[in-house]
Amino acid sequence: MAQPPIYVFSAAQHSHLVPYLAALHGTCITQDHMTGAFLPPLNHEKLLACRSGTRAKGTELVGAALLSLPASETSPFRAQVESLLVNPRYRRRGKAMELMNGVHAEAIKRNKTLLTAEAQSGSAGETLLKKLGYIEVGRVPNYSFSPADMKKRDQTILYMELGA
């Protein structure tokens, strides 16, 4: 099976993917209990409201990784991995690694050599980040509600120096 391409999102070129991104985000919250910006009950309109675009073309989205590039005069070399979402049908096939390798390549292209990331403590996301070489800085207790049971969960803060 051919590998799906990895794209840097451009609203002008990829707005047709927004409904798929919203659906993927919802799936990761409801099935995996990913801690994110939303809590159940979810609906498509709620998820689409934070994205622009409404028409879908194609079949499905394999995954998405979001890299935030904050404007900072004191640390122009820094970026933050905001989200990593993989469609459940494509898990355990190395897609998360592919996406993160794409994020790392894009960060290097943009001269971002220090990446930070957060993940719910004990989650598959934390495990993946550590497998990729991210280093744990610490944990913030009771950081956010888990969609699974509405209990507060800790958040792990990590970083990676690219090219180090």
Per-residue pLDDT of the chain (164 residues; tens, 9 = 90+): 555 566 666 667 766 666 666 666 666 666 555 555 555 555 555 444 444 443 334 556 778 888 888 888 899 999 999 888 888 888 888 889 988 999 999 999 999 999 999 999 999 899 999 999 999 999 999 998 887 788 999 999 999 999 86
Q: Which pLDDT belongs to residue 135?
A: 98
On whether residue 4 sits in a domain, the answer given is no
On whether residue 108 sits in a domain, the answer given is yes
Cα separation, 115 vs 137, in Å, equals: 12
Q: Which pLDDT belongs to residue 127?
A: 95
Answer yes or no: are the C-beta atoms of 83 and 64 closer than 8 Å: yes
On whether residue 61 sits in a domain, the answer given is yes
Number of domains in the chain: 1
On whether residue 123 sits in a domain, the answer given is yes
The residue range of the domain holding 67 is: 11-161
On whether residue 22 sits in a domain, the answer given is yes
Q: What is the CATH number of the domain that holds 95?
A: 3.40.630.30
Q: Which pLDDT belongs to residue 83?
A: 85
On whether residue 157 sits in a domain, the answer given is yes
Q: Which pLDDT belongs to residue 55?
A: 39
On whether residue 93 sits in a domain, the answer given is yes
Burial letters 25-40, b for 16+ CB under 10 A, else e: bbbbbeebbbbbebee
Cα separation, 117 vs 125, in Å, equals: 10
On whether residue 2 sits in a domain, the answer given is no
